[in-house]
């Protein structure tokens, strides 16, 4: 069974940092791209970042709203992806989901998300 489990969320002050983890099982992690998608309370979905597999060049892309502050990475030996969030802002408050993105379904740029974790809540507040 494919599973993605996010962790590392919590309450953090504006300007501080937080690192989210996405631990996966049930599939060959290294064969897939991974994205982070967030959802502010009562709002819609916002894609945040993705990282392709090493076979596809380990390419990383970011939404304009987080570029320069967030860093996505992966450790295939641990089947885990990470999102390092720096210089956090109040508007970064959201549930953060990690997703599995199958390369055969991807365009030249990005991918749909065929499995999602349950999400971890990040609250940025003073």
Partner 1 sequence: DIVMTQSPDSQAVSLGERATINCKSSQSVFFSSNNKNCLAWYQQKPGQPPKLLIYWASIRESGVPDRFSGSGSGTDFTLTINNLQAEDVAVYYCQQYYTTPQFGQGTKVEIK
Nearer to partner 1, 36 or 82 (CB): 36
Q: Do strands 10-12 and 120-124 pair parallel, antiparallel, or not at all (unpaired)?
A: parallel
Binding site for partner 1 (CB under 8 A): 35, 37, 44-47, 50, 61, 63-64, 97, 105-119
Nearer to partner 1, 71 or 106 (CB): 106
What is the distance between the terminal CA atoms of the chain, rounded to a whole angstrom? 40
Q: Give min distance, CB of 106 to partner 1, in A.
A: 7
State the sign of the Cα–Cα–Cα–Cα dihedral 4, 10, 12, 14: positive
Phi and psi dihedrals of 87, rounded to 5? 45, 50
Q: Give min distance, CB of 81 to partner 1, in A.
A: 16
Nearer to partner 1, 21 or 110 (CB): 110
């Amino acid at each position: 069974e494919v599973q993605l489990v996010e962790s590392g969320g919590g309450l953090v002050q504006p300007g501080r940092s937080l690192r989210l983890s996405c631990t996966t099982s049930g599939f060959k992690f290294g064969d897939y791209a991974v994205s982070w998608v967030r959802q502010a309370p009562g709002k819609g979905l916002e894609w945040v970042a993705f990282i392709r597999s090493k076979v596809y060049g380990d390419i990383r892309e970011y939404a304009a709203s987080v570029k320069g502050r967030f860093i996505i990475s992966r450790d295939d030996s641990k089947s885990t992806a990470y999102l390092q969030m720096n210089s956090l802002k109040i508007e970064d408050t959201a549930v953060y989901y990690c997703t599995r993105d199958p390369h055969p379904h991807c365009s030249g740029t990005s991918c749909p998300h065929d499995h999602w974790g349950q999400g971890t809540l990040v609250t940025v507040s003073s």
